[in-house]
Structure 1
């Protein structure tokens, strides 16, 4: 199975069944205010019950052997084992593992990476894991691939809307929700194209995608001044001021390195899982980005390139070669 060949075939995203069509087909009404999405979230709200992996105890009725036998008898006639229903059912726990990743790495993201504790951070970090999983689902047989991708993205947008409403409150106008969902849809599409290009291209390309989306282009130089202001500055003999990098900017390459290795390591791990297990929702457990040790200095980097290990830890980690 070659995931790279499947990834390069098409960059268009599979449309979701209902949610994205409903909201994405209409432009935002509040065009005068270019909202970037909710930004006041300190701690992401709890996911809806269907994405909570800590389910409530099973009722005694569901343990009744007669009830179990009756359900099994009528399930085939209710379409329970159809391809679409199976995809809906099995992609739910797949997505639940993606949606909870931020909670598992809060300290790393907010402290080491200095990312703001906002809704946008949750969205971009979750999107990265959804895109990794989507790349693996794209390697399934064509019919299964389309169905599983569509249902995974549908779960993603259902969770997006749930958390968004939890942030904005119950009285938020529907036009505001539609506008934010349009923004999330555009970021999903654009991020997906850049991600596909990154995983089939170099590490620098993949790091650029992560830098632009998750880190919001942190440390990017300001836009150059207009030609008229530049000429007047030269005529006045004034030197242009060069802004020094902040401490966060200095640590940024190390953080991007960890994310690039994380993406390629998880793609390799998922590639080793059989199609049948993937279709049953058995995707294993995600590795932690924070567990990756970045090389320190040229000697350590050369050792990592040759062996996949860093000198200071000796720990094996996936090589991030393009």
Structure 2
């Protein structure tokens, strides 16, 4: 190209760049850039150094590249959404089971916390009945006796389950862990003294379980006698209180039958309030 020809192109180049620069500066995305370039090519084709056909091909190429990029991004997002394949999930679950996370023992431990908490809350939830109606003193021993009664009822229900023995053991573990924590909350910190208390409570627990089992299998007078020795011995109750608790036990043992394996595995169980009148 001659010097004269090059000089004649300079004004056109400057004019074209003066139009392109502010337009391109506003571009914030490839689609916007393509649209602006396309409009520019249509409106100022006479100033362009490229033929219109070339401009159209260039615009088409920009759109094609952007669409390809969008498709790739979308595909990548979908791949990230399904990051783990069914095979990977199966392997991970298999490893979890191998490590004991879904084992019967692990499930029993997790469920026992919820099951026990339901038993431990009964004294607080029904204070009006046990403290006011039955005249039990509001102290640690009353809490232990009422909680033991509900733990025993749940034990009776768990005996019929396939892995009931394991669940019962974990339930009793939670009971005595809580009992020890409550002893410490009363200001007793010497381990020797705590061990002595736990030993006495354990003997009381085993004696109560045997007595309640006998009363359940025999008749209401035998069950009432077990309640007298294990629950009401420290109170000035009367025969009506004994009869109301016997009625409550019979009703709740029957109600617990609706809580099957899935509920127990999830730690779901419920006790209703004791009645203050005979039904």
Which TM-score bucket, shorter chain as reference? 0.5 to 0.7
Tell me, what secondary structure is at the counterpart of 2:115? helix
2:139 pairs with 1:153? no
Alpha-carbon distance in structure 2 between the residues aligned to 1:217 and 1:122: 12
Tell me, what secondary structure is at the counterpart of 1:80? coil
Bigger mean CA offset, 125-134 vs 268-277: 268-277
TM-score, normalised to structure 2, is 0.64
Equivalent pairs counted in the alignment come to 192
2:277 pairs with 1:293? yes
Alpha-carbon distance in structure 1 between the residues aligned to 2:234 and 2:127: 20
Tell me, what secondary structure is at the counterpart of 1:215? coil
User: Structure 1 residues 77 and 109 mapped into 2: Cα distance closer, same or farther (>3 Å)?
Assistant: same
User: Structure 1 residues 208 and 217 mapped into 2: Cα distance closer, same or farther (>3 Å)?
Assistant: farther
Please name the residue that 1:76 is paired with.
97
Offset of 1:271 from its aligned partner?
Answer: 1.7
Please name the residue that 2:251 is paired with.
265
Task: Indicate conservation of the 8 Å contact 1:88/1:148, yes or no.
Answer: yes
Alpha-carbon distance in structure 2 between the residues aligned to 1:271 and 1:110: 28
Please name the residue that 1:209 is paired with.
226
Task: Indicate conservation of the 8 Å contact 2:136/2:234, yes or no.
Answer: no
Offset of 1:281 from its aligned partner?
Answer: 2.2
Which residues of 2 match residues 301-312 of structure 1 at below 5 A?
309=279
Offset of 1:77 from its aligned partner?
Answer: 4.1
Alpha-carbon distance in structure 2 between the residues aligned to 1:288 and 1:267: 13
Structure 1 residue runs without a partner (length 5+): 1-64, 219-247, 295-308, 310-322
Structure possessing the higher radius of gyration over alpha carbons = 2
Alpha-carbon distance in structure 2 between the residues aligned to 1:82 and 1:128: 29
Offset of 1:278 from its aligned partner?
Answer: 2.6
TM-score, normalised to structure 1, is 0.56
Alpha-carbon distance in structure 2 between the residues aligned to 1:112 and 1:71: 55
2:120 pairs with 1:120? no
After superposition, the C-alpha distances for 1:273-300 in whole angstroms (9 at most, x for unaligned) are 32343333232x21111x3413xxxxxx
After superposition, the C-alpha distances for 1:203-238 in whole angstroms (9 at most, x for unaligned) are 0011111111111165xxxxxxxxxxxxxxxxxxxx
Which residues of 2 match residues 95-114 of structure 1 at below 5 A?
95-114=116-135
Offset of 1:75 from its aligned partner?
Answer: 3.4
Alpha-carbon distance in structure 2 between the residues aligned to 1:75 and 1:161: 33
Alpha-carbon distance in structure 1 between the residues aligned to 2:233 and 2:187: 22
Task: Indicate conservation of the 8 Å contact 1:84/1:147, yes or no.
Answer: yes
Task: Indicate conservation of the 8 Å contact 1:199/1:206, yes or no.
Answer: yes
Offset of 1:107 from its aligned partner?
Answer: 1.9
Cα RMSD for the two superposed structures: 2.2
Offset of 1:72 from its aligned partner?
Answer: 6.3
Offset of 1:76 from its aligned partner?
Answer: 2.8
Tell me, what secondary structure is at the counterpart of 1:117? coil
Alpha-carbon distance in structure 2 between the residues aligned to 1:282 and 1:109: 24
Alpha-carbon distance in structure 2 between the residues aligned to 1:177 and 1:133: 26
